């Protein structure tokens, strides 16, 4: 921290106490939200991003087929400045209203990735029907959306920089899901605690 802050008043030490510590130059007049783009290198083998633009992208298999149900896929986004990113399956008006941090990380980073196991539409509908935090009207609205977009999934992402600027327009990540029997064995995606980490 001392070495970073000694470089100048605009230098700030972020993510202290983690393995993602960074020393970044902060523009005091920054009023621009982070610019989001696909992170190509992290995408699972056998998949590709299509229709990529400033508003989002779509994930397909290399043969242009939809993703198979129950198949785990790793994907990600990049930002042009260290940012916190959030993701949601529903439209939200503000960054703070969105439900989850991208990849379960609230650190300020350039690269953000997450693993997602493509669910079946039936399993999503079952989760909605069993949601105790939703009222009946909300459940019916979500079921109508899912029924009308059968086989299609959409995620909505936003990112916020250290100055609190976040993109007003959601960044859409879309995928289509191909139905089929669950023939895929479980895959261990993460262990907790992390390897070589310390416990109290």
pLDDT reported for residue 156 = 93
pLDDT reported for residue 149 = 45
pLDDT reported for residue 82 = 94
CB 115 within 8 A of CB 74: yes
pLDDT reported for residue 137 = 67
DSSP 96: G
Q: What's the Cα-to-Cα distance from 174 to each of 15, 56, 67, 138, 153, rounded to whole Å?
A: 30, 8, 11, 22, 6
pLDDT reported for residue 70 = 76
Both structure tokens of 67: 């993703």
pLDDT reported for residue 148 = 45
Q: Which residue has the tokens 């979500």?
A: 142
pLDDT reported for residue 29 = 85
C-alpha 192: how far from chain center: 20
- Please list the pLDDT of the chain residue by residue as tens digits (200 residues): 889 989 888 899 999 999 899 999 888 888 899 999 999 999 999 999 999 999 999 999 999 998 887 778 899 999 999 999 999 988 899 999 998 999 889 999 999 999 887 655 555 556 555 655 566 666 565 555 554 444 678 889 999 999 999 999 999 999 888 776 667 677 776 788 877 888 77
CB 106 within 8 A of CB 185: no
Q: What's the Cα-to-Cα distance from 43 to each of 35, 40, 94, 156, rounded to whole Å?
A: 19, 6, 27, 18
Residue 122 phi/psi, 5-degree rounding, is -65, -40
185-189: long-range contacts at Cβ-Cβ below 8 A with a sequence spacing of 24 or more? 187/72, 189/72, 189/115
Both structure tokens of 116: 């997602």
């Amino acid at each position: 921290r001392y070495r970073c802050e000694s470089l100048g008043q605009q230098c700030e030490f972020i993510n202290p106490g983690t393995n993602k510590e960074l020393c970044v130059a902060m523009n005091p007049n920054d009023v621009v939200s982070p610019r989001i783009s696909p992170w190509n290198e992290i995408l699972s083998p056998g998949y590709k991003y299509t229709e990529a633009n400033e508003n989002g992208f779509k994930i397909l298999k290399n043969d242009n087929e939809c993703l198979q149900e129950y198949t785990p896929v790793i994907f990600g986004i990049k930002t042009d400045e260290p940012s916190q990113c959030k993701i949601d399956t529903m439209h939200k008006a503000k960054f703070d209203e969105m439900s989850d941090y991208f990849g379960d990380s609230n650190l300020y980073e350039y690269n953000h990735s997450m693993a997602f196991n493509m669910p079946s539409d039936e399993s999503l509908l079952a989760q909605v029907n069993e949601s105790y935090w939703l009222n009946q009207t909300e459940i019916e609205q979500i079921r109508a959306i899912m029924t009308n977009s059968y086989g299609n999934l959409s995620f909505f992402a936003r990112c916020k920089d250290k100055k609190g600027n976040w993109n007003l327009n959601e960044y859409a990540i879309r995928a289509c899901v191909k139905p089929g029997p669950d023939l895929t064995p479980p895959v261990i995606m993460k262990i907790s605690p992390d390897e070589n980490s310390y416990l109290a």
